Structure 1
Amino acid sequence: MSPVAVAVTGTVILLALRVPVALSMFLVGFVGVRMLNGLNAATGLLASESFTIASNPELIVVPLLILMGNVASITGMSRRLYEAAYALIGQIRGGLAIATLIGCGGFAALSGSSVASALTMGKVSLAEMDRFRYDPKLSTGVVAAGGTLGILIPPSTGFVIYAVLAEESIGRLFLAGVIPDILLLLMFMATVYLLCTLRPGMGPRGPSTTLAEKSRAIVAALPIIILTLLTIGGIYGGFFSPSEAAGVGAGAVIAYGLVTGTLTLRELWGATRDSIVTSSAVMLILIAAHIFNPFLALSHIPELVSNAIGAMDLGRIGTLLVILMIYMALGTFLEGFAMLVLTLPIFVPIVSGLGIDLIWFGVLVVLTLEMGLISPPVGINVFIVKSVAPRVPLADIFRGVFPFWLAMLVTLLILVAVPALSLYLPTTMMQ
């Protein structure tokens, strides 16, 4: 059997059997290298790559970001940010849904996780939107879509994984995600406004709040605002590296929780344990990818794919759009991190050969991965929201997220047409 047949057949069969992606790549990569270069090469690769990835100091940002998000959720920071946004704009039509989007964006800035954002904000906001008779399709769609801000807004675990696999700067990727994420948030807010304008019953007005109530809500939300400015502002101001910013953020949110009494030692231990489990899964995927990638190189699969795409003679932008469409298709049945580790070794050489900036490409890829989180039939964020709102039919949630999926598609096309939106900050702030 040819190396290509080994890679394709082995990966497809294992994924079809629902073998975890990391284990699938371990098996296919190890067996493939064993077939092509011998047992010594395969075992040597297993030992060396495991140590190299596990000892990479840049990856400390992953467990620290996850820990920061877990503790922030426990201390109620995300709820207070949501309540502040609600106090300011809840009285306008669709205001509660827009406040939910703002809350998702703020919590995503701490957690860097789409799933965590959708789960946390779903628990916080869905009951409120039900109380004010929001259309369930809109309320669940807002939470599922708002959660997708988690992987794009810095600090983002998605950017960290991309940076490691593509050998790019984590700091530059964090900077590159700022303007696109603001644009995506504005597109989501415009979508809510348009839906509620066309169908006023979808998002009724909330109760008006006094100036004193607005002030109290804003003061209560100051800790999460200060923490976000501390971590993200520290990176952009050059005071912290991404790893140091994650450490400062995690330490600050733990200190806040302990001082205010919103975090017990038992809860801290639980958040730490959950962070270790999640981080271990991410590390396992990365190690597996670095065993699978040498096999891809030996089997010449990237070269074959590059030649096939090159034969289409689509040009720079045409090739980029084809790659993004492949990611959209894969997103309907594969998890985001799995797509990154499986495809970047193939696509990065292609886009580099075309002169496409890998920072810009990273923003486009990560945004496309986010579209997969609300795409049927997998749509992880949709199922997360379903677990929080069990009475809403799954079909209604998918209908609710569709307008936001279209908003993401429009945002993606804008970013493709205007690369400067992604490259302005990393170009001007990191010379």
Structure 2
Amino acid sequence: MSSMAVGGIGMVILLVLLVLRIPVALAMFAVGFCGIAYLNGFSSATSLMASESFTLASSAELVVVPLFILMGNVATETGMSRRLYDAAYAIIGNVRGGLASATVIGCGGFAALSGSSVASALTMGKVSLREMDRFDYDPRLSTGCVAAGGTLGILIPPSTGFVIYAILTQQSIGRLFLAGVLPGLLLLGMFILTIMLLCWMKPEMGPAGPTTSFREKLRSIAGAAPILVVILLTIGGIYAGLFSPVEAAAVGAGLVILFGALMGKMTLATLWNATRDSVITTATVMLILIAAHMINPFLALSHIPQAVGEFLGALSLPPVGILCVILLCYLVLGCFLEGFAMLVLTMPIFFPVITSLGLDPIWFGVLVVLVLEMGLISPPVGVNVFIVKSVAPNVPLGTIFRGVLPFWLAMMATLALLVAFPQIVTVLPNTMIQ
């Protein structure tokens, strides 16, 4: 049997395992290990497993993952994430759709702490859905804005998606973090614009919330000040060259713990819960990365990436045309595969094509992560939709999917803008102080 046939069979088996909901890391590890053992010998597979596991576990760059995750978990446990929503709620909650816009802004702020889309959707769902129900918001708008707003967690830095992309492609984590800032803000603005348009066309979808006094607004902003300070110091410190991404993560985690203690919210039980959740999430990410370093050599041995590159080259399309074909493949795969699984599975195939075309890998990374976000609200998998369903059990699943459709279209418009104007992505990393 040819190596190409073995690779094709391996990919089919992997897809079947993922459809059967076998854990991503376990499925990729099993296929990668068995494929390498078949093509290159059992000793080669065991040697690679040992060396790659040790190399990844001892990588200093990966320290950024548990530290940023800890920062987000401590912010959640101490109620700091709620203060972000309260500040936005006080400022714009009294306009039509204001509570929905405040939810999206809260998701964006929480994304800058946790880097997790699921955590953003879950936290903001618990905080905001009850308020929007109280003011008779249309369930399509209330659940849709939470599910879509949660996707900001994978684009606005710090982002676990960017870290995994950087490890897989040997790119700079700091440059990717900075590259995600303006696209993240652009997407946040597009979501708010979508809410405004929906409430303009159908005012009953998002009634106005309560009016707050100027003093209440100031009090709410002051309450969110610690989190805003952490965000500005971590991201601003990377941009100014004061911190590396790992140092920024350490500063952010330390400041969040300090602010929690000063506010009297940091107890041993709180710290234990945040630390335990951080360890579990970090272990999951590490297992996925180790499995990725097993599946990648298997794909290389099977020559599938070269075949895909030759096929795309034979299409006689300009580089941007080939890029659009690749992004279309991601959009289709996003309907069936979990985001990180899709990233790890496809990057060894598509990334060599991107580099051979001379396209900016940082720009491509942001585009891919944005498409992964779209998969989080695309049927039938739509992880964030199911997260919102768990918070709002009385809302039918079909209603939530209809609610996210306008936001999905807003994400598509944002993707088109980023493809047409790469400078939106590259301006910050290209001006970063070295």
TM-score range, shorter chain: over 0.9
The residue type paired with residue 368 of structure 2 is: V
Any idea what the Cα deviations from partners look like across 1:57-87, whole Å, max 9, x if unmatched? 1011111111111110111111111111111
Match of 1:358 in 2: 361
In the other structure, the counterpart of 2:141 is: 138
Match for residue 30 of structure 1? Answer: 33
Matches within 5 A, 1:332-347: 332-347=335-350
One of 283, 286, 290 as aligned partner of 2:286: 283
Partner secondary structure for residue 182 of structure 1: helix
Deviations 1:8-57 (A, max 9, x none): 23323322433222111111111111111112211110110010111111
Shift of 1:266: 1.1
> CA offset at residue 414 of structure 1?
0.4
Deviation track 1:168-194 (CA, whole Å, cap 9, x = no partner) reads 000100111111111101100000000
Aligned 1:218-237 pairs, distance under 5 A:
218-237=221-240
Residue type of the alignment partner of 1:167: Q
CA offset digits 1:344-370 (Å, max 9, x no partner): 011010010011110000000000000
The answer to whether the aligner puts 1:200 opposite 2:203 as a matched pair is yes
Structure 1 residue identity aligned to 2:308: V
Gaps of 5+ in 1: none
| Distance in 1, Cα, partners of 2:15 & 2:64 | 32
Once the two structures are TM-superposed, the CA of residue 430 in structure 1 deviates from its matched residue by: 4.5
For the pair 1:262 / 2:262, whether they are aligned, the reply is: no
Partner of 2:394: 391
Q: Structure 2: which amino acid aligns with 1:144?
A: A
4+ residue runs of structure 1 moved beyond 3 angstroms? none
Query: Among 120, 129, 141, which residue is 1:126 paired with?
Result: 129
Q: Return the match for 2:106 from 103, 107, 111.
A: 103
Question: Secondary structure of 2:208's partner?
Answer: coil
In the other structure, the counterpart of 2:186 is 183
| Aligned mate of 2:329, from 316, 326, 329 | 326
**Which position in structure 2 is the counterpart of 1:401?**
404
* Identity in percent: 68
What is aligned with 2:87? Answer: 84
RMSD of equivalent CA atoms: 1.1
Aligned to 2:71: 68
Residue 429 of structure 1 is matched in structure 2 by 432
Cα separation, 1, equivalents of 2:105 and 2:341: 28
Give deviations 1:306-362, integer Å, cap 9, x for gaps.
111112122211110110011111111111111111000110100100111100000
Over residues 250-269 of structure 1, what are the superposed CA-to-partner deviations in whole Å (9 max), with x where a residue is unaligned?
11111221232212101211
Q: How does 1:38-57 map to 2 (within 5 A)?
A: 38-57=41-60
Residues 1:368 and 2:379 are matched in the alignment: no
Structure 2 residue matching 1:239: 3-state secondary structure: coil
TM-score by length of 1: 0.98
Distance 1:16 1:99 in 2: 36
Match of 1:171 in 2: 174
2:415 aligns with one of 403, 412, 417: 412
Q: Describe the superposition over 1:280-305 as per-residue Cα deviations: whole angstroms up to 9, x where unpaired.
A: 01100000100111111111010111
Given that 1:159 and 1:170 are in contact with CA atoms closer than 8 Å, whether structure 2 keeps it comes out as: yes
The answer as to whether partners of 1:135 and 1:202 remain within 8 angstroms in 2 is yes
| Match of residue 351, structure 2, among 348, 353, 358 | 348
Question: CA, structure 1 residues 243+193, in 2 after alignment: closer, same or farther (shift >3 Å)?
Answer: same
- Alignment match, 2:242: 239
1:148 matched to 2:151 = yes
The whole-number CA distance in structure 2 between the counterparts of 1:122 and 1:115 is 10
Q: Could you say if the C-alpha distance between residues 130 and 17 of structure 1 is closer, same or farther in structure 2, counting changes exceeding 3 Å?
A: closer
In 2: Cα distance, 1:257 partner to 1:115 partner: 23
Structure 2 residue identity aligned to 1:332: C
CA drift of 1:205 comes to 0.9
- Tell me how far apart the structure 2 counterparts of residues 316 and 413 of structure 1 sit (CA, whole Å): 15
Q: Unmatched 5+ residue regions in structure 2?
A: none
Q: Distance in 1 between matches of 2:346 and 2:433?
A: 28
Post-superposition offset of 1:6: 3.4
Contact 1:137 1:400 in 2 (8 A): yes
**Which amino acid is 2:348 matched to?**
P
Contact kept? 2:18, 2:337, Cα under 8 Å? no
Instruction: State TM-score, norm by structure 2.
Output: 0.97
Alignment-derived partner of residue 315 in structure 1: 318
Please tell me whether residue 9 in structure 1 is matched to residue 12 in structure 2. Answer: yes
Superposed CA deviations along residues 71-119 of structure 1, whole A, max 9, x for unmatched, are 1011111111111111111111111111111111111000011000000
Partners in 2 of 1:297 and 1:187 — Cα distance? 40
Per-residue CA distance 1:116-146 (angstroms, 9 max, x = gap): 0000000111111111111111000000000
Range 194-203 or range 5-14, more displaced: 5-14
